[in-house]
A and B are shown apart, each in its own frame.
Chain A
Amino acid sequence: MAEQTPDETTLDAPDAALVAAAVDDETAPYDLAGLLAATGASEALLEAVERAGLLVPHHREPDGSPRYGEADADAVRAGLTLLEAGLPLGELLDLARHTDAAIRQVADHAVEAFLRFVRDPVRGTASDDHEAAQRLVTAYEEMLPATERLVAHHLRRRLLHRATERVASELGGAP
Chain B
Amino acid sequence: MRLSVHTTVLDEDRPLLEVLPASPDALAWVRDGDGLVAWGTAARLDPGPGTDRFARARAAFDTLAADAEVVDEVRRPGTGLVAVASFSFDAGSPGSVVVVPQVVIGRRDGVTWRTEIRGDGAVPPAPPAPPAPPARSPATTPHRDRPRYAGSSLPDVHWLEAVAQAVARIQSGEADKIVLARDHAVWSREPFDPLDLARRLTARFPRCHTFIVDGLVGATPELLLAKRGRSVTSRVLAGTTGRSHDEAEDAALGAALLASDKDLAEHAYAAASVAEVLGPRCTDLQGDAAPRLLRLDNVQHLATTYHGHLDDPTTSVLDVIAALHPTAAVGGTPRDVALQMIAELEGMSRGRYAAPVGWMDAAGDGEWGIALRCAELQGARARLFAGVGVVAASLPEAELEETRLKLRAMQAALDAETTA
Q: Which residues of A contact B (CB under 8 A)?
A: 42-45, 47-49, 51-52, 83, 86, 88-91, 93-94, 173, 175
Give chain B's interface residues, CB within 8 Å of chain A: 142-143, 145, 151-152, 155-157, 160-161, 163-165, 189, 395-397, 400-401, 403-404
Q: Is there contact, CB below 8 Å, between A90 and B161?
A: no
**Bound complex: CA A43 to CA B142 (Å):** 49
Instruction: Given A90-B401, A94-B404, decide whether A47 and B164 contact each other with a Cβ distance below 8 A.
Output: yes
A88 touches B189 (CB 8 A): no
Q: Which residues of B contact A90 (CB under 8 A)?
A: 156, 400-401, 403-404
Contact B189 A51, beta carbon cutoff 8 Å:
no
State the CA gap A175–B396 with chains docked (Å).
41
Query: Known interface pairs A42-B161, A175-B189. Does A48 touch B397 (Cβ–Cβ under 8 Å)?
Result: yes
Interface SS of B by simple majority: helix
* Chain B positions within 8 Å of A49 at CB level: 397
- Interchain CB contact under 8 A, A45 and B157: yes
Contacts of A83 in B (CB 8 A): 155, 157
Cα A47 to Cα B157 with chains together (Å):
12
Instruction: Quote the shortest CB–CB distance from A78 to chain B (angstroms).
Output: 14
Inside 8 A of B151's CB, which chain A residues have their CB? Answer: 86
B404 x A51 contact (CB < 8 A): no
Given A42-B161, A175-B189, CB of A88 within 8 Å of CB of B156 = yes
Distance in Å: Cβ of B387 to nearest Cβ of chain A: 14
CB-CB < 8 A to A93: which residues of B? 397, 400-401
Chain B residues whose C-beta falls within 8 Å of the C-beta of A89 in the assembled complex: 155-157, 160, 400
Say whether A48 contacts B404, CB under 8 Å. Answer: no
Asked whether, in the complex, the Cβ of B396 is within 8 Å of the Cβ of A48, the reply is: yes
B100 to chain A, nearest CB (A): 39
Bound Cα distance A88, B405 (Å): 13
**Besides A88-B404, A90-B404, 18 other A-B contacts (C-beta < 8 A):** A42-B157, A44-B160, A45-B161, A47-B164, A48-B400, A51-B397, A52-B397, A83-B155, A89-B155, A89-B157, A89-B400, A91-B404, A93-B397, A93-B401, A94-B404, A173-B143, A175-B145, A175-B189
Chain A residue nearest in CB terms to B189: A175
Interface majority SS on A: helix, strand, loop or mixed? helix
Please determine whether A45 and B160 come into contact, CB atoms closer than 8 angstroms. Answer: yes
Shortest 4 CB-CB contacts between residues of A and residues of B: A44-B164, A90-B404, A48-B397, A89-B157
CA distance A91 to B408 in the complex (A): 11
**Which chain A residue lies CB-closest to B405?**
A90
A93 to B395, CA, bound (A): 14
Are A48 and B156 in touch, CB under 8 angstroms?
no
Contacts of A48 in B (CB 8 A): 160, 164, 395-397, 400
Closest chain B CB from A41 CB (angstroms):
9
Per the bound structure, the CA–CA distance linking A173 and B189 in Å amounts to 14
Bound form: Cα–Cα A86–B401 in Å: 17
Complex CA–CA separation, A47 to B164 (angstroms):
10
Considering the chains assembled together, what is the distance between the CA atoms of A48 and B396 in angstroms?
7
Q: How far is the CB of B252 from chain A (nearest CB, A)?
A: 22
Report how far A45 CA is from B143 CA in the complex, Å.
Answer: 41
Instruction: Determine the chain A residues whose CB is within 8 A of the CB of B142 once the complex forms.
Output: 175
Residue from B142, B157, B400, B401 having most chain A Cβ neighbours under 10 A: B157
Identify which of A43, A90, A93 gathers the most chain B CB atoms within 10 Å of its CB: A90
* 29 interchain pairs, CB-CB under 8 A: A42-B161, A44-B161, A44-B164, A44-B165, A45-B160, A45-B161, A47-B164, A48-B160, A48-B395, A49-B397, A51-B395, A51-B397, A83-B155, A86-B151, A88-B152, A88-B155, A89-B157, A89-B160, A89-B400, A90-B156, A90-B400, A90-B403, A91-B404, A94-B401, A94-B404, A173-B143, A175-B143, A175-B145, A175-B189
